[in-house]
Structure 1
Amino acid sequence: MTHSSTLILAHDIGTSGVKATLFNRFGNLVDSCTTNYQTYFMKENEVEQNPDDWWKAICHATKHLLNTNKIAPSNIEVITFSGQMMGVVPVDKKANPIRKALIWADMRASQQAYHACAEFGEDHLYKLTGNKMTSSYSGAKMAWLKENEHSSYQKAYKLLQAKDYIVAKLTGNFLTDFSDVSGTNLYDIRKKGWIEDLIHFWGLDIAKLPEVVSSTTIAGYIKEEIADQIGLLSGTPVVIGGADGACAALGAGITQIGDTFNYLGSSSWIAGVSDTPVLDRQKRTFNFIHLDHSKYLPMGTMQAAGSLIDWVITQWYKELAKENKNKAYEIMNQEMNDSAIGARKLVFLPYLLGERSPWWNADIKASILGLTAQHQRGDIARAAMEGISFNLSLIYGAFIESGLKMDNMWLFGGGANSPIWRQMLSDLYNIHSLFLMMLMKQHLKELQL
């Protein structure tokens, strides 16, 4: 297949890999591919990825799409990004990483978050940032880096998010957007400015933080010295893009008050739209800035959803997965269906990576309760899925209590392909039918909007 028209290239830098997608200027899908990379689970609650792996994956996926579809680099009109949030990527002036990235799942910075709460008050910080002050967010991780790896901190010219690192590598410009900066806990999401008192308290250098721009901003143009690596022409425009959660919301058409969605991926979250941050009295939920930065995305996120199901596969369906992972999932779903609602009285608390909403406890652990010799692996798999679903229902209930308007619920992500999971969530949310949105339709709608 050959294409002579101009095309849009979008990269999503996810937890498990980079998804590269080509669209024409009308928002029609041309092709897509995924390139995976490694996640490093080290000491308790320490989770990292190598930014060089992101870069290599993006270069590989870009060249694969162009070569497979016989597309000339001159046909790529623009490249843009969405990316995982709430990490820390320390880079030098040439956008080379100083060390591995602390990603969103890393929760080592509990002490730094605790000291900030003690100094400023948890309620005060929640009102400013729209987020609970915890180790999940970038600011506390930056403070941990300064305190525990001072040399790495000192060498860093900028402290970036995943997509912003790639943009800097391509263009030489160090920027972020409103949606990603709202996941740092260093930003006043109402006034749209850095919280200098908090930054100074942690001893951070505000000069190491990037400039904040709109998601539609052209961040710069691909540098001549980097063009061959990615397989595109120098001078190709690079649009900064947005945080994955915000891009997913727009892709699902979540733009008006009452729109709601539930994403089921490695992690899972529920989000709606509001003109102002929605503050929960118990701080169970949080707020990011929408890609339309005049709006907000009230959200509740749990750490391990699809990643917990993947763990179940590796533990109890290991041999099947070695032969054919898709077949392993198919058999697991059959065996879950053969189990019963309640997984034959087996309970699986799904806190494999600590938990964010609604508990906000980095030290909480996953547990399997009520296990007997009569239970089979299908019961364990179903209990895991039910545990995730019950936690999501607590998040949904928190939004109901906070008064967030929710007229409908879109469901998408890899987990949305499971009929069993869809039924569980429909029952727990007490919604007669969930609107299933497949991933490709999500991307198309994002571009059309």
Structure 2
Amino acid sequence: MNYYLGIDCGGTFIKAALFDENGNIRACERENVAVISEQSGYAERDMPELWQACAEVIRRTVKSSEIPPHLIKSVGISAQGKGAFLLDKDKRPLGRAILSSDQRSLPIVKRWQAEGLEQQIYPISRQSLWTGHPVSILRWLKENDVPRYDQIRHLLMSHDYLRFCLTGELYCEESNISESNLYNMATGQYEPQLAHLLGIEEIMDKLPPIVKANQIAGFVTEQAAQACGLTAGTPVVGGVFDVTAMTLCLADNQPHKLNVVLGTWSIVTGISNEIDDKQALPFAHGRYVEAGKFLIQEASPTSAGNLEWFVKQWKLDYQQINQMVAALPPAQSAVIFLPFLYGTNAKLGMTAGFYGMQAHHSQAHLLQAVYEGVLFSLMIHLERMCQRFPQVQTLRVTGGPAKSAVWLQMLADLTGKTLEIPEVEEIGCLGAALMAAEGVNGDSLALKQHQALRVIQPNPANFDAYQHKYRQYRKLTKLLEQMA
């Protein structure tokens, strides 16, 4: 039996899971990784601590599996996209990593938008302008921290950095770097014109070579092997953007299905063989792991992270919350929640809040509004994606809220669509392991052929109530956009 290690580095945890060649999980360990926010809008991560946490979860996973390390044939890494992990001339971390949830560059992005730069950039990069892109972070550093900017020698993203720690080799992986606003979606190469338009042209020679997700990008070094318990010389593939990793695990990408990821982010994805220039909306595109295909997505950091904040404040557990929400009539409360604690898919600068509270409302009503608000924000992305994929009847759903039957039923009733929930453990790790298997075997079909699906049907009796409240949510956000 051969084994494949998948690592998943997200916004809150880093996890490692070991899969056998039939896709069965043999061991999994996780470690919390802190997001450092010492100023408003900042979201950073200590890079050496991240590597230490990564090495520790690998070591514990290998140990608890009781699988001899030499039977682990390859390693893949899935991680959150965007952000900036910077190294100096000695390949040492250049300060803390700046994560994709960082918003310090908001004034710069607003200025670029006012200057009409988005209209010049999108036809090349197929990306809108956003605070979490590497280009926005780099321009902020150029304007506000010149000594640090001048010391940059290598620009990486999260899984690029962890791969470097494992192998000592520097690459940028394609599914992630293709969404950086430094990449020409048509040519599949870095694009100097983009860097010039954004005023960071000197960064072009700081970009490592591009590696594909399933391409072997190096081998575990002796030093890394000692730290994490792997065998030196184990192949490590390019890895994959976590959204792509999750999409990979959803088994089939048929025209009547869209993929929904509910985690820190609300994400709706579909796969296309082409870039459709006739579309009026500026959909974000990324290179998919299959040749000639594109990952098309709508996304914002407006999902379950909002609930996590309230869980910490009120010290509730998820079972309690589900019971409280389930006891209330669907969509009858006047309370509306804007799920913008970590960002927005409305106007830049908008923040979270409740509206419509009265004295008779309880904690349960607020929690119900959080559940609804997260789905209303998702609904905006879903409506847009249905313009690109008009045949959609089914949503395949993954992420934390997929563990809540109450939340899932709410989503089915709001959209009127059938939900399919893959019964996959550690889906980000599995996506990384799929790429690891492809890197050494040429395919990964065996790893995902045994997936089971749970199906949830919408209750038509609740559709009108949810749609009415969704319209109220949209009216409220439109009004508040005028103040942002």
Tell me if TM exceeds 0.5.
yes
Partners of 1:171 and 1:93 in 2: CA distance = 18
1:323 equivalent in structure 2:
none
Contact persistence 1:79–1:238 (CA under 8 A): yes
1:281 equivalent in structure 2:
280
Task: Please give the per-residue CA displacement for 1:214-239, whole angstroms capped at 9, x wherever unaligned.
Answer: 11111111122332112222211111
Task: Please give the per-residue CA displacement for 1:89-147, whole angstroms capped at 9, x wherever unaligned.
Answer: 01135543111111111122134334544666322312221121122312111221222
2:145 equivalent in structure 1:
149
State the identity %. 26
1:178 lines up with 2:141 in the alignment: no
1:71 equivalent in structure 2:
67
- Out of 419, 422, 427, the position equivalent to 2:405 is 419
Partners of 1:184 and 1:80 in 2: CA distance = 21
1:187-226 equivalences under 5 Å are 187-201=183-197, 202-203=199-200, 204-226=202-224
Q: Taking structure 1 as reference, are residues 259 and 124 closer, same or farther at Cα in structure 2, changes over 3 Å only? A: farther
Partners of 1:106 and 1:169 in 2: CA distance = 24
Contact persistence 1:146–1:153 (CA under 8 A): yes
2:380 equivalent in structure 1:
394
Once the 2 structures are TM-superposed, how far is the Cα of residue 444 of structure 1 from its aligned partner?
5.5
1:354 lines up with 2:354 in the alignment: no
Q: Taking structure 1 as reference, are residues 81 and 444 closer, same or farther at Cα in structure 2, changes over 3 Å only? A: closer
1:336 equivalent in structure 2:
325
Q: Taking structure 1 as reference, are residues 211 and 407 closer, same or farther at Cα in structure 2, changes over 3 Å only? A: farther
Matched residue SS, 1:85: coil
Partners of 1:313 and 1:270 in 2: CA distance = 25
1:54-203 equivalences under 5 Å are 54-117=50-113, 121-201=117-197, 202-203=199-200
1:314 lines up with 2:312 in the alignment: yes
Partners of 2:95 and 2:382 in 1: CA distance = 37
- Out of 285, 310, 334, the position equivalent to 1:345 is 334
Q: Taking structure 1 as reference, are residues 53 and 212 closer, same or farther at Cα in structure 2, changes over 3 Å only? A: same
1:367 lines up with 2:344 in the alignment: no
1:39 equivalent in structure 2:
35
Task: Please give the per-residue CA displacement for 1:197-220, whole angstroms capped at 9, x wherever unaligned.
Answer: 221342332111121121111111
Task: Please give the per-residue CA displacement for 1:289-332, whole angstroms capped at 9, x wherever unaligned.
Answer: 212141111111121311101111122x22x4xxxxxxx11111
The alignment's TM-score, normalised by the length of structure 2, stands at 0.84
Contact persistence 2:255–2:389 (CA under 8 A): no
1:13 lines up with 2:9 in the alignment: yes
Contact persistence 1:48–1:106 (CA under 8 A): yes
Partners of 2:177 and 2:393 in 1: CA distance = 28
- Out of 241, 250, 253, the position equivalent to 2:251 is 253
Contact persistence 2:302–2:377 (CA under 8 A): no
Contact persistence 2:181–2:194 (CA under 8 A): no
Contact persistence 2:59–2:227 (CA under 8 A): no
Matched residue SS, 2:50: helix
Partners of 2:88 and 2:229 in 1: CA distance = 24
Partners of 1:173 and 1:138 in 2: CA distance = 20
Contact persistence 1:114–1:134 (CA under 8 A): no
1:25 lines up with 2:11 in the alignment: no
The amino acid across from 1:191 in the alignment is T
Task: Please give the per-residue CA displacement for 1:367-424, whole angstroms capped at 9, x wherever unaligned.
Answer: 1001122111111111011011011111111122234553531111111111111112
Matched residue SS, 1:345: coil
2:301 equivalent in structure 1:
303
2:453 equivalent in structure 1:
none
The alignment's TM-score, normalised by the length of structure 1, stands at 0.90
The amino acid across from 1:243 in the alignment is F
Task: Please give the per-residue CA displacement for 1:70-91, whole angstroms capped at 9, x wherever unaligned.
Answer: 2332222211101110110011
Moved more, 109-118 or 128-137: 109-118
User: Structure 1, unaligned stretches of length 5 or more?
Assistant: 321-327
Once the 2 structures are TM-superposed, how far is the Cα of residue 256 of structure 1 from its aligned partner?
4.7
Q: Taking structure 1 as reference, are residues 404 and 107 closer, same or farther at Cα in structure 2, changes over 3 Å only? A: farther
1:439 equivalent in structure 2:
424
Once the 2 structures are TM-superposed, how far is the Cα of residue 435 of structure 1 from its aligned partner?
0.3
Task: Please give the per-residue CA displacement for 1:20-62, whole angstroms capped at 9, x wherever unaligned.
Answer: 1101233222121211111122333221122223211211111
Once the 2 structures are TM-superposed, how far is the Cα of residue 278 of structure 1 from its aligned partner?
5.1
User: Structure 2, unaligned stretches of length 5 or more?
Assistant: 435-443, 446-484
1:243 lines up with 2:241 in the alignment: yes
2:262 equivalent in structure 1:
264
Once the 2 structures are TM-superposed, how far is the Cα of residue 250 of structure 1 from its aligned partner?
0.5
Q: CA RMSD in A?
A: 2.1
Task: Please give the per-residue CA displacement for 1:309-365, whole angstroms capped at 9, x wherever unaligned.
Answer: 1111122x22x4xxxxxxx11111111112232362111011112214xx3x33111
Contact persistence 2:86–2:154 (CA under 8 A): yes
The amino acid across from 2:371 in the alignment is M
Partners of 2:272 and 2:101 in 1: CA distance = 26
Contact persistence 1:278–1:287 (CA under 8 A): no
Contact persistence 2:265–2:305 (CA under 8 A): yes
